[in-house]
Amino acid sequence: MLYEYLFQPFIEFGFMRRALVASLALAVGGSAIGVFLILRRMSLMGDALAHALLPGAALGFLLGGLSLPAMSLGGFLAGIATALVSGAIARFSNLREDASFAAAYLTALALGVLIVSLRGSAVDLMNILFGAILAVDDGALYLVVSTATLTLVGLAAIYRPLVVECFNPGFLAAMGVRGSVYHYLFLALAVLNMVAGFQALGTLMALGIVLLPAVAASFWAREVWSMTLIAAPMAFASAAVGLLVSFHAGLPSGPVIVLFASLFFMGSLLLGSRSSVRSRLSRPVHLRG
């Protein structure tokens, strides 16, 4: 009975297997990106960036229909362009970077919805906005898995400069290193992950599986690498459980997955070992020193 509930869907249906593998890859790559997004205080900017994929994906849709390569390439280019343009606006004017990101993504979102509605139906729009992880085909799977690979290898390569750029950019500059190079490399990886996630979860929720587990992990871990190690299993668990629940209950999978990720967040907020509700409320015997 339990066996049937937990494993039967994956054994019986190829689309469930593909969805599971896709979410494993998204979880591993995305949670590492999420940890850095939080540490760089860019959570909301990441969200804005994810929405900004829309006009690019929509243009891809307009030119190539519901074709994965066209929409992914369009989304990637739009995301990179938004990151560069809002970064540049912030640098050359006095507008704060979060404000310029917000301005860029609102423009992008409006433009994207408009473009989709030029040709597509409401169903297409829903697909792009909210994704369809159960519709992940082999092509999308390759995209997601290569993204995860590239993300892990890339982050491992730029790990040290990126960490120092986060917490003490002046030191990096004094060492003669251009921190902005690593900032933009990281943004490129982040956009890549959102493109991968958008097929599964849509532009509106692609960041859910990236950010929520990372936020949850920050209630448990004390260093960057351990945060990542904790976030990835949480992301995968939310995806696996979310898939099963949505399968059995007949609910849309994207929101269910994100809601499970947010359960992890709320659980960690309550029970985590660092600055959680539990550690605030329960004050056991204080230490001697």
Q: Given the rule CB under 8 A, which residues bind another protein?
A: 39, 157-158, 160-161, 163-164, 166-171, 173-175, 177, 218, 221-224, 227
Smallest gap from residue 230 Cβ to another protein (A): 12
Smallest gap from residue 271 Cβ to another protein (A): 19
* Burial class of residue 56 (count of CB atoms within 10 Å of its CB; 0-12, 13-18, 19+): buried
In the bound state with another protein, the residue whose beta carbon lies nearer, of 19 and 221, is 221
In the bound state with another protein, the residue whose beta carbon lies nearer, of 72 and 228, is 228
Sort residue 67 into left (φ over 0), alpha (ψ -120 to 50) or beta.
beta
The Cα angle at residue 42 between residues 219 and 61, in degrees rounded to 5: 115
Cα-based distances in Å from 12 to 20, 134, 140, 162: 13, 14, 20, 43
Smallest gap from residue 174 Cβ to another protein (A): 5
In the bound state with another protein, the residue whose beta carbon lies nearer, of 63 and 173, is 173
Run of H or E including 205: helix 179-205
* φ, ψ (nearest 5 deg) of residue 276: -95, 175
Smallest gap from residue 39 Cβ to another protein (A): 6
